[in-house]
Amino acid sequence: MLVDSHCHLDFPYLSDQLDDVLARAKDAGIGTLVTICTRVRKFEQVLVIAEAHDHIFCSVGTHPHNADEERDVALDEIVSLSKHPKVVAIGEAGLDYHYDNAPRDDQEKGFRIHIAAARETGLPLVIHTRDADEDTARILSEEMNKGPFSAVLHCFTAGHELARKGVELGLYVSFSGVLTFKKSDELRDIAAGVPMDRVLVETDAPYLSPEPMRGRRNEPANVVHTAAKLAEVKGVSNAEIARVTTNNFYARFSKAPRPEGDVAA
Ligand SMILES: [Zn+2]
Ligand SMILES: [Zn+2]
């Protein structure tokens, strides 16, 4: 069984055909799914999906793209929404200097508020970072010195140094379909170096379909292709990578109950 630790089931295309998407995920052997919040003001949209399905959980937070729209979202509000039994993570939050959709100052403030929420609740922070390796590493180090928190570098596409720093700080590193792209040799090299007890897989659906599905909309069933590539990179079987990434998921997203019958091996 595999877990899709990061998808956006409330986004059009997935939400429009959710029953079919979930049926295909089940057929592909995907167990738990985490549908990730990108706007606290739209948290309700991910929550209703999680509430309607035993195997779906959600997060709460503001994507860096929306950081300027949600300047008014305070720590207390995130913490209070996270008390819902279906909320297993904070985020996604972080820095995106590739698109710079929101001013960097707002992104950093939002990032630090979400780190504080992760620290206070004990829930893992789902970190989005793109073309912002140095600032991400700096903020993580500064904040870790204020008090520990747990986190995942989601859809990892950053460089060696941020991967190394993340692992040193106790973070998990989650790989998406980008790992399967032809041009991703450096990323595969990074993945080879991340300790086995820190790796996760995700789709980030509806974005970033892995090979051989590239060019089509992505959906959770496709996490099998990323997992297979990670197995190849690590030189282990697909069954072993499923075992490892699923164990890692329940270790880090520990508020998500492991389904009965799916025992840690
Ligand atoms: Zn993201
Ligand atoms: Zn995402």
What's the pLDDT score for residue 259? 83
Q: C-alpha angle 9/127/251, rounded to 5°?
A: 80
Ligand closest to Cα of 8 equals 2
Confidence check: pLDDT of 171 > 70: yes
Alpha-carbon distances, residue 228 vs 92, 140, 164, 232, 251 (angstroms): 25, 30, 23, 6, 21
What's the pLDDT score for residue 261? 72
CA of 198 to the centre of ligand 1 (A): 18
What's the pLDDT score for residue 265? 60
CA of 8 to the centre of ligand 2 (A): 6
3-state SS class at 175: strand
- State pLDDT tens for residues 207-230: 999 999 998 999 999 999 999 999
What's the pLDDT score for residue 102? 98
What confidence tier does 139 reach under pLDDT thresholds 50, 70, 90? very high
Amino acid at 144: M
Confidence check: pLDDT of 264 > 90: no
- Listed in sequence order, the residues at least 6 apart from 248 whose beta carbon sits closer than 8 Å to its beta carbon are 172, 197, 198, 199, 200
Q: Which residues keep their CB under 5 angstroms from ion ligand 1?
A: 92, 128
CA of 60 to the centre of ligand 2 (A): 12
Tally of CA atoms within 13 A in the half-sphere of 134 that contains its CB? 0
Question: 157 with 123: CB under 8 angstroms?
Answer: no
Q: What value does the mean pLDDT take over residues 177-191?
A: 98
- State pLDDT tens for residues 16-38: 999 999 999 999 999 999 999 99
What confidence tier does 151 reach under pLDDT thresholds 50, 70, 90? very high
CA of 261 to the centre of ligand 1 (A): 31
- State pLDDT tens for residues 83-134: 999 999 999 999 999 999 999 999 999 999 999 999 999 999 999 999 999 9
Amino acid at 258: R
pTM above 0.85, yes or no: yes
Q: What value does the mean pLDDT take over residues 164-170?
A: 98
What's the pLDDT score for residue 263? 66
What confidence tier does 157 reach under pLDDT thresholds 50, 70, 90? very high
Ligand closest to Cα of 4 equals 2
CA of 47 to the centre of ligand 1 (A): 18
Eight-state DSSP code of residue 250: H
Confidence check: pLDDT of 69 > 90: yes
Dihedral sign from CA coordinates of 32, 75, 37, 112: negative
CA of 92 to the centre of ligand 1 (A): 6
Ligand closest to Cα of 203 equals 2
Confidence check: pLDDT of 260 > 80: no
User: Percentage of residues in the chain with pLDDT exceeding 70?
Assistant: 99
Q: Which residue has the tokens 């974005």?
A: 207
β-pairing, 151-153 vs 30-35, is unpaired
What's the pLDDT score for residue 61? 98
Confidence check: pLDDT of 246 > 80: yes
Radius of gyration in angstroms for the set of CA atoms belonging to the chain, rounded to a whole number: 17
Q: Which two tokens stand for residue 219?
A: 């959906």
CA of 36 to the centre of ligand 2 (A): 6
- State pLDDT tens for residues 201-211: 999 999 999 99
User: Percentage of residues in the chain with pLDDT exceeding 90?
Assistant: 97
Question: 234 with 196: CB under 8 angstroms?
Answer: yes
